[in-house]
Structure formats: C-alpha cells, structure tokens
C-alpha cells in the first residue's frame, strides 16, 4: 500500500512518501517520485492506490481556476469532482500538505475514493488532519517533534511489515512488502516548497518484489 506521512510544525509542514509502484502481484513496476507539487499553490500532494491518481489530480487542478493555497482549498469540491470523473472506478487516496498565507499556518488534507470495512474515513469527504498523520506508516513512530531520522526509521519499520496490496477489497488478501524505492521529503512554508530524497533502498529493483534485507519474501 506504500506509505505517506505528514508532520505540521510552527512555520512549516512536512510531507514524506516512498517511491514505489507495483502490480497486483506486488512486483515493482516503477520507482518514481510520489511527492508532486500542487499547481499554483504553496502545496504538495501524494497518493496511494492507482498510479493514475497522480496525473488525475494534477489534471483536475489544471481544470479549475484558483490562485494560491487558500483559493485552492476553497475550490477543492470542484477539483475533486473533476478528479472523480477522471478516476472513474479506480482507487485513490490524496494527501495534501500546504501553507495558508491568510492564516499563517500549515495544513494537511486527506480524501479517498473508496470504502473499506472498518475504515475511520468515509470516501468523498475532505478531512483536515492534525499535527501528524500516517498512511501505511505508524504516525506515532514520528515522535512529538519532527526528526528526519525518526521519519526514516518509521518508514523502515513500515517497509518490513506485510500489507494487503488489495486494500482489503479483493476476494483474498495479497500480502506483500509494499514500501520501497526511496523516501522523498517535501517541506512547505511561507517561502514555498523545497524537497529532497532522505533515504534510498538500493536493493529494490523494477521487475522484482520488495524484499527487505534479512527478511524472507512473502509467498
């Protein structure tokens, strides 16, 4: 299911994501950035689910007129209506980290297209998240204060666990290691967006399943 984490500090907000895409069997199909800029706003986004969700959300943003993050938030209903139209039946989660010039704070927003039994979040609802959040990674592992080292450790721990890459929606679960490639880190603040890679897993290879060092591959 890959992994995304966010952390809001005074004066900035962090979004961290891995960089792997895989097929229905868990075989890596690509290692590519999964932290994308939101057009015309001090914001970035990431996604889990269909690879197409990245292009679909960027296209939806380009279809709606807004200037800056605050106007972007005001137009989110329209943006997501366009996103849903482009996505069709495909599954996707969108996590957005942005900076409000109007309020002088960082904000994190979340929305998904699907329902899974036991989920706390309903599809189609835009949620405003708190100081720290984790999707595929335990947010408590991020600690009470931002630390790049703790973030890397949290993603490593998530990488070593098995996840149902069918999101619990298939006839049978497919358990695989699903966090890999590298970890991209974006920082959003009043001066805009900056980003870098903070960790990489050189053992990950397109055409193979993720197999964390020292662990046996899932059957």
pTM of the predicted protein model: 0.94
Asked, for residue 127, whether it belongs to a domain, the answer is yes
Asked, for residue 205, whether it belongs to a domain, the answer is no
Indicate the average pLDDT of the chain.
94
Token pair belonging to 153:
């450790």
Asked, for residue 95, whether it belongs to a domain, the answer is yes
Q: Report the distance separating Cα 118 and Cα 202, nearest Å.
A: 35
pLDDT on residue 187: 98
Asked, for residue 213, whether it belongs to a domain, the answer is no
Under 8 Å between Cβ of 13 and 188: yes
For the chain, the domain total comes to: 1
SS3 192: strand
Q: Report the distance separating Cα 93 and Cα 53, nearest Å.
A: 8
Asked, for residue 82, whether it belongs to a domain, the answer is yes
Token pair belonging to 157:
């721990």
Q: Report the distance separating Cα 107 and Cα 69, nearest Å.
A: 10
Strand duo 127-128 + 105-112: pairing: antiparallel
In the chain, which residues have pLDDT < 70?
Answer: 1, 214-219
pLDDT on residue 213: 72
pLDDT (tens digit per residue) in 87-143 = 999 999 999 999 999 999 999 999 999 887 777 889 999 999 999 999 999 999 999
pLDDT on residue 88: 94
pLDDT on residue 218: 42
Asked, for residue 116, whether it belongs to a domain, the answer is yes
HSE-CB for 23 with a 13 A CA cutoff: 8
Which helix (H) or strand (E) segment holds residue 153: the answer is helix 148-160
Asked, for residue 96, whether it belongs to a domain, the answer is yes
pLDDT on residue 219: 37
Which CATH number does the domain housing residue 107 bear?
A: 3.60.20.10
- For residue 16, how far is the Cα from the chain centroid? 7
Asked, for residue 206, whether it belongs to a domain, the answer is no
Q: Which domain holds residue 88?
A: 4-200
């Amino acid at each position: 299911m890959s992994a995304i984490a966010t952390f809001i500090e005074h004066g900035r907000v962090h979004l961290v994501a891995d960089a792997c895409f895989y097929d229905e069997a868990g075989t890596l199909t690509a290692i590519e950035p999964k932290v994308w800029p939101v057009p015309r706003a001090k914001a970035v986004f990431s996604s889990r689910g269909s690879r197409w969700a990245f292009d679909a959300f960027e296209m939806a943003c380009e279809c709606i007129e807004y200037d800056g993050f605050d106007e972007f938030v005001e137009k989110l209903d329209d943006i997501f209506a366009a996103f849903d139209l482009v996505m069709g039946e495909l599954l996707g989660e969108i996590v957005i980290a942005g900076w409000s010039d109007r309020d002088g704070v960082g904000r994190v927003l979340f929305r998904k297209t699907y329902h899974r039994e036991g989920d706390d979040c309903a599809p189609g609802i835009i949620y405003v998240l708190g100081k720290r959040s984790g999707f595929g990674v335990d947010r408590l592992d991020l600690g009470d204060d931002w630390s790049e080292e703790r973030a890397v450790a949290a993603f490593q721990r998530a990488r070593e666990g098995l996840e149902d890459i069918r999101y619990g929606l298939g006839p049978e679960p497919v358990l695989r290691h699903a966090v890999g490639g590298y970890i991209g880190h974006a920082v959003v603040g009043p001066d805009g967006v900056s980003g870098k890679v903070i960790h990489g897993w050189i053992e990950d290879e397109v055409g193979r399943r993720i197999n964390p060092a020292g662990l046996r591959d899932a059957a």
